[in-house]
Amino acid sequence: MSDVFLDLGSAPPSNAYLTEDALRAPELHYPLRLLVCGTCWLVQTEDFTAADALFSDDYAYFSSTSKGWLAHAARYAAMVKERLSLRAGSHVVELASNDGYLLRNFVQAGIPCLGVEPTASTAAAAEAIGIPVLREFFGEALGRRLAGEGRQADLIAGNNVYAHVPDINDFTAGIAALLKPEGVVTLEFPHLMQLVEHGQFDTVYHEHFSYLSLLSVGRIFARAGLRVFDVEEIPTHGGSLRVWGCLDGAGHAEHPAVAALLGKERARGMDGDAFYRGFQTRAETIKDDLLRFLLQARAEGKTVAGYGAAAKGNTLLNFAGVRPDLLSFVCDAALAKQGKFLPGSRIPIHAPDALSEAAPDYVVILPWNIAEEVMAQLAPLRASGTRFVTAVPELRVT
């Protein structure tokens, strides 16, 4: 039985950025609700859209835009290469390889690799830097096909994709089919425990089909013949997990971190109803505080712009009903987003130079998880008197 965990009303897909021509057409909105299963404690969105509609050929999210994320990927690649003794005879497969932000490290190390990426815009960027890419959605059928072609993996990497797949059981079965007998899969995804405890409701959007705990992932893995043998808590995206998995019969010993984190999740009550109650009120408080700030700034004649045309920002702005009268424009370093408009709010997206020209009184940093990186980039604005604002987990003006 599933119960409603969070209801954010209706919104367009968070990465469906609009062209100027599209402003003259109707814009599709879909209900955005989370449900929690009272048996396995998996949290999922109520499905209204298909994956191929959300992850289209002109998908605008390019991972390499963030220098912090590039550095995270390089550290991971160096660590996993050493830990798994990956060499020229190994094979690495990344699921949702995007623009090659991660696999470029394996190419440079001379380790054979393959990216699986269904969005043509990002796949083309990866291919341009020498990464072989298969432009398909991943699932059990593709995993079995690649294995049948002799392309089983020593390492399967999935960074911020596990939450994005509509059929998580089929996806996981594909991983099991593609792994070599002693192969390893690592999956990184936002941790549901952090989402709830820190009010990160803006990480909820249609492209995120699942919201995961180690409790729920362990059950999903077991169904596919996999097991978790290690787990790390990492700081990305406001608090994520990196899960290490293998086939059930593989020889990888289970690390104490697995039992420790399962114990922490149970101690927090994640296997009971109480943990999930009250999150709606938390989201509404964050929304109300942001609206109050923006209305007060307008009343005082202050100018407010935004930084980061991020999916999480779109969830926040659409839930709060923010429009260009309260947030005049948003800047983003991604060329694919510049000149377009945010979905729902229809706030224009400019290149970062527009902030220097406008010198607003306030800049709202929508991707709060990289706020320190953004503030360092915009240090000249701070020197001229601009103040920075984040809304999650609580309103903060710096």
Asked if residue 367 lies in contact with residue 342, where contact means CB atoms within 8 angstroms, the answer is: no
Q: Tens-digit pLDDT profile for the chain (398 aa)?
A: 458 889 999 999 988 999 999 999 999 999 999 999 988 899 999 866 555 554 445 545 667 677 888 999 999 999 999 999 999 999 999 999 999 999 999 999 999 999 999 988 899 999 999 999 999 999 999 999 999 999 999 999 999 899 999 999 999 999 999 999 999 999 999 999 999 999 999 999 988 899 999 999 999 999 999 999 999 999 988 899 999 999 999 999 999 999 999 999 999 999 998 898 889 999 999 999 999 999 999 999 999 999 999 899 999 999 999 999 999 999 999 898 999 999 999 999 999 999 999 999 999 999 998 999 999 999 999 999 999 999 999 999 99
Asked if residue 331 lies in contact with residue 305, where contact means CB atoms within 8 angstroms, the answer is: yes
pLDDT, position 121: 87
Type and span of the H or E element at 49:
none
Length of the chain: 398
pLDDT, position 62: 67
- In this structure, is the dihedral angle defined by the CA atoms of residues 90, 95, 99 and 105, taken in order, positive or negative? negative
Which residues are CB-neighbours of 391 under 8 A, at least 6 positions away?
202, 286, 289, 290, 316, 364, 368
pLDDT, position 336: 86
- SS3 percent helix, strand, coil of the chain, rounded to 5, is 40, 25, 40
User: What structural domains does the chain harbor?
Assistant: 48-267 (3.40.50.150), 278-397 (3.40.50.720)
pLDDT, position 278: 85
Which single residue is written with the structure tokens 């952090």?
194
State the Cα torsion 55-58-63-67 to the nearest 10°: -160
Asked if residue 46 lies in contact with residue 376, where contact means CB atoms within 8 angstroms, the answer is: no
Q: Give the distance, in angstroms, between the CA of residue 373 and the centroid of all CA atoms in the same chain.
A: 17
pLDDT, position 1: 44
pLDDT, position 236: 87
Task: State whether residue 359 is helix, strand or coil.
Answer: coil
| Structure tokens given for 295 | 């209305």
| Structure tokens given for 45 | 């969105």
Asked if residue 229 lies in contact with residue 252, where contact means CB atoms within 8 angstroms, the answer is: yes
Asked if residue 390 lies in contact with residue 396, where contact means CB atoms within 8 angstroms, the answer is: yes
Which residues are CB-neighbours of 301 under 8 A, at least 6 positions away?
none
